[in-house]
Amino acid sequence: MALDHVTRNWILACPPLFLLHEAEEYRTMLPWIAKHESLVPHVVKSIVPHDPAFIAYAGAIFLVLFVAVGIMASRSKPQSVPWLLLAILLTARLENAVLHTIESIVLMQYTPGFITAVIVVLPISFYLLRRLIRLDLVRLSWLPGIIAAGFIVQAVGIGAMLLLGSI
């Protein structure tokens, strides 16, 4: 199948929509850590910069990556590298949303990023991944590798965000 207009529009809409998640984290992370210091492991407190700019860096990095990969994928043939990269980025966002959800459930309270993770990131990421597979733009057999790569991208993204925030 070919890429339909609805899916293309959602692919192009997801970068600015995902910025809502970064904005929620930007506004809430440092105040939440300060208020709930006893819940935050020391290692986390020691590596999180004291300026929320590090979250803005993450938002900018994800925006640029999603826009570039989304445009390349929408202009590429099915089952090509750009579609694989888009699936990996979407999976990284999906995994991030799931982790936010687990944090809030375990702590039985709001954690930074939870609202937009559940309302925006989780449904859009899941929907688009499902569409990519159904439209045969990404093979279902690639999913285990995509899931693993999503965790790697997430870890690298967090590392880059913290590194840039400490400069």
**Residues 38-81: tens digit of each pLDDT:** 888 887 777 777 777 777 877 888 889 999 999 999 999 999 99
Residue 40: which H helix or E strand, with range? none
Of 160, 130, 161, nearest to 146 (Cα)? Answer: 130
CA dist 75 and 48 (Å) reads 38
CA dist 115 and 28 (Å) reads 11
Question: How much of the chain is helix, strand and coil, in % rounded to 5?
Answer: 80, 0, 20
Instruction: Name the pLDDT band for 96 (thresholds 50, 70, 90).
Output: very high
**Residues 10-38: tens digit of each pLDDT:** 999 999 999 999 899 989 988 998 898 88
Instruction: Name the pLDDT band for 124 (thresholds 50, 70, 90).
Output: very high
User: Residue 167's pLDDT is what?
Assistant: 62
pLDDT of 128 strictly over 90: yes
Of 41, 33, 49, 66, nearest to 153 (Cα)? Answer: 66
CA dist 124 and 117 (Å) reads 10
User: Residue 62's pLDDT is what?
Assistant: 82
Number of C-beta neighbours around residue 152 at 10 A: 11
